[in-house]
Amino acid sequence: MPAILSIRDLRKTYQGGLEALKGVSLDIEEGEILALLGPNGAGKTTLISIICGITTASSGTVTVAGHDIVDEFRAARALIGLVPQDIALEPFEKVRNTVRFSRGLFGKRRDDARVEDVLRRLSLWDRRDAQIKELSGGMKRRVLIAKALAHEPRVLFLDEPTAGVDVELRRDMWEIVAELKASGVTIILTTHYIEEAEAIADRVGVISRGRLLLVEEKARLMKRMGRKQLEVELTDPIPEIPPALARHRLRLSRDGRRLIFTYDRQGRRTGITALLNDVAAAGLVLRDVQTRQSSLEDIFVDLVHGEQA
Amino acid sequence: MNWLAIAAIYRFEMNRFFRTLMQSFLSPVLSTSLYFIVFGAAIGSRIREVEGISYGAFIVPGLVMLSVMTQALSNASFGIYFPKFIGTIYELLSAPVSFLEIVIGYVGAAATKALFIGAVILATASFFVDLSIAHPAAMVAFLLLTCFSFALLGFIIGIWAGNFEQLQIVPLLVVTPLVFLGGAFYSTSMLPPVWQKITLFNPVVYLVSGFRWSFFGMADVPVGWSLLAIALFTAACLTVIWWIFRTGWRIRS
């Protein structure tokens, strides 16, 4: 698939000398959902702000569907919708008017049917004539999304879409994102909730201290970097790991009931058979056995710590 | 040119005006009426005619200018400052609009509001005094130019202001004194000779004088000077705006 967004060696040094981006290059394919993960201050918002035209880059280029964001800013920006991190809305304006305004601002003719469609998809139609200040926080976030979608963008940026949002609304957001993807919109979201990236992203990029540490398909990333754990639950607790099992480098849970074995699924031999044989030979009686895939969160922490070390 | 964007900004700004239409309408009517009661009826009855014009009629152009300047300035400065303050400026910056289009939208809306208020004041004044306009076309031109140039200045102030205090400080500390000392309520020929000279450094003198000329055919300074002054003032504002546009000053980091 062709890249709809192409970022080349993007750098940003703020006036105070803060180097927010240190040469980021990235291609984003049409129709995918890319999650940019990173701790606070990693450069996620700066990256989005440059692409959307809010901040100027110190050097490097960005093209959207082949249009340079500086030289052809009109063509580039017309393709982009942005949902900012903070709720910023004119409090006294009505929902429908503010969405209409966004559409006009992006150079699209008034189209009430289109605005209605966007408001319905975001469950805002019933509140179309309410003033923004009357809405709940979750509703305001939906209005921000509606505004970003009003001009039918091909690329949508969601900057921390679920920061400070309750669980139910977060699930709703994910559903909305899935629907948008189905309609062909490319989505780039930043988050520091690993759970979010894990739930909805096709690819994951990890950004830390202004550098893109990696970009990889989520499933492959988890497979490549993911470790699995085998947990063996014993019928009777033991005070310490028997010497016969020492070679397996196990960990014993505090209550002495569970033996935890970490292994690499990529290896030809995982060592599970040998472990279970040795457990049986040591005379331990098993009550239960389960495995657990390490989460994106574990991978993320490993990566960011590895980089910082 | 993204005309649809200009129209969207203009409409959005005018909506704010219409939401508070009663305030927008009532406050100039009330303040103009008060001026006429105080200056026209109470004090004006003891003032001889000024240059052959009744005092009540003489102050009308000054009153209109006073309101038009402050309204154009405050509407434009608030119009662009508010999105900065509440954060909605992100949308303007990320939209496919040029800075010029943003300026046209905001300044156009602020000038329209000022023009509306100027018209309301003129209409109110006509209830109190007999008004005749000697040069209607020139009157409209002066009014329009003043609306636009002060809206431009207001836009610059709105971009510059970092808080609400700064937003108020230029209108309060600079514009209001200049307007009051700019011959809105008197002819500069009524001043002592020294002050007649000093007052020529006040740009508002030229605007009020030119505007008054369009009503009564008489002016404190030649009307050509007035036109030159307003042209220079507009050019200065446009230059500053062009510079802001080039550098992204206080808008884009």
Give the angle A124-A126-A129 at the CA atoms, nearest 5°: 90
Contact, A108 vs B4, CB < 8 A? yes
End-to-end CA distance of chain A: 36
Contact, A140 vs A62, CB < 8 A? no
Cα–Cα distance, B46 to B61 (Å, whole number): 20
Among A144, A82, A79, A152, which residue's Cα sits nearest to residue A115? A152
Give the CA diameter of chain B: 60
Element (H, E) at A20: strand A19-29
Contact, A256 vs A243, CB < 8 A? no
Beta strands in A181-257 (DSSP E): 186-191, 203-208, 211-217, 228-234, 251-252
For residue A50, the model assigns a pLDDT of: 96
pLDDT confidence band for A227 (50 / 70 / 90)? confident
Structure tokens at A15: 């006036």
For residue A96, the model assigns a pLDDT of: 96
Please state, rounded to an integer, the average pLDDT across all residues of chain A.
89
Q: Which residues of A touch B88 (CB under 8 A)?
A: 88-90
Q: Which residue of A has its CA nearest to B93?
A: A54
pLDDT confidence band for A302 (50 / 70 / 90)? confident
Q: Do A53 and B93 touch (CB under 8 A)?
A: yes
> What does the pLDDT look like over A143-194, one tens digit per residue?
999 999 999 999 999 998 887 777 877 888 888 899 999 999 999 999 877 7
Q: Do B97 and A92 touch (CB under 8 A)?
A: no
Q: How many CB contacts within 8 angstroms connect chain A with chain B?
A: 81
Picking from A85-89, A268-272, B60-64, which range would have the lowest pLDDT averaged per residue?
Answer: A268-272
Structure tokens at A194: 């690993």
Q: Do B7 and A104 touch (CB under 8 A)?
A: yes
Q: Phi/psi zone of residue B125: left (φ > 0), alpha (ψ -120 to 50 degrees), beta?
A: alpha
Contact, A148 vs A83, CB < 8 A? yes
Q: What are phi and psi of A228, to 5 degrees?
A: -110, 155
pLDDT confidence band for B170 (50 / 70 / 90)? confident
Orientation of helix B99-128 relative to helix B136-160, angle to 10° = 130
For residue B188, the model assigns a pLDDT of: 83
For residue A303, the model assigns a pLDDT of: 76
The shortest C-alpha distance from A295 to chain B (Å) reads 35
Residues with Cβ within 8 Å of B227's Cβ and at least 6 positions away in sequence, in order, are B210
Residue-wise burial string across A81-107, b where 16 or more C-beta atoms lie within 10 A, e elsewhere: bbbbbeebbbeebbbbbbbbbbbbbbb
List C-alpha distances in Å: A158 to A81, A303, B48: 9, 23, 69
Q: Do B96 and A106 touch (CB under 8 A)?
A: yes
The shortest C-alpha distance from A199 to chain B (Å) reads 28
Q: Do A105 and B16 touch (CB under 8 A)?
A: no
For residue A309, the model assigns a pLDDT of: 56
Q: Which residues of A touch B18 (CB under 8 A)?
A: none
Identify the contact set of chain A against chain B, taking CB-CB distances under 8 A.
14-15, 52-56, 73-78, 80, 82, 84, 86, 88-93, 97, 100-109, 147
Orientation of helix B3-19 relative to helix B99-128, angle to 10° = 40
Cα–Cα distance, A128 to A149 (Å, whole number): 15
Cα–Cα distance, A177 to A184 (Å, whole number): 11
Cα–Cα distance, B159 to B248 (Å, whole number): 10
Q: What is the gyration radius of the CA atoms in chain B, in angstroms?
A: 19
Of B90, B96, B253, Cβ closest to residue A84: B90
For residue B32, the model assigns a pLDDT of: 81
Give the angle A103-A34-A217 at the CA atoms, nearest 5°: 155
Q: Do A92 and B5 touch (CB under 8 A)?
A: no
Q: Which residues of B touch A109 (CB under 8 A)?
A: 4
Cβ burial of B235 (10 Å; 0-12, 13-18, 19+) is: exposed
Among A212, A162, A171, A224, which residue's Cα sits nearest to residue A192? A162
The shortest C-alpha distance from A92 to chain B (Å) reads 8
| Residue of A105, A106, A111 best to disrupt the B interface, most CBs of B under 10 A | A105
With 60 as the cut, is the pLDDT of residue A296 above it? yes
Q: Which residues of A touch B1 (CB under 8 A)?
A: none
Please state, rounded to an integer, the average pLDDT across all residues of chain B.
89
Cα–Cα distance, B161 to A89 (Å, whole number): 20
pLDDT confidence band for B150 (50 / 70 / 90)? very high
Count of Cβ atoms closer than 10 Å to residue A181 Cβ? 17
Q: Phi/psi zone of residue A31: left (φ > 0), alpha (ψ -120 to 50 degrees), beta?
A: left
B104: contact with A, CB 8 A cutoff: no
Which residue ranges form the domains of chain A, and what is each CATH number?
Answer: 3-223 (3.40.50.300), 227-293 (3.30.70)
B9: contact with A, CB 8 A cutoff: yes
B87: contact with A, CB 8 A cutoff: yes
With 80 as the cut, is the pLDDT of residue A2 above it? no
* Helix, strand or coil, per DSSP, at residue B99: helix
Report the pLDDT averaged over residues B9-13.
95
Of A15, A89, A105, Cβ closest to residue B9: A105
B94: contact with A, CB 8 A cutoff: yes
Q: Which residues of A touch B90 (CB under 8 A)?
A: 52, 54, 82, 84, 88
Contact, A190 vs A44, CB < 8 A? yes
Q: How many residues does chain B have?
A: 253
What string of DSSP letters covers B34-62? HHIIIIIIIIGGGSPPBTTB-HHHHHHHH
Among B30, B24, B204, which residue's Cα sits nearest to residue B117? B24
B250: contact with A, CB 8 A cutoff: no
Cα–Cα distance, B153 to B143 (Å, whole number): 15
Q: What are phi and psi of B220, to 5 degrees?
A: -75, -35
Among A271, A269, A268, A260, which residue's Cα sits nearest to residue A294? A260
With 70 as the cut, is the pLDDT of residue A72 above it? yes
For residue A1, the model assigns a pLDDT of: 58
> What does the pLDDT look like over A8-19, one tens digit per residue?
999 999 988 899
Contact, B82 vs B76, CB < 8 A? no
The structural domains of chain B, with segments of one domain joined by +, span: 3-247
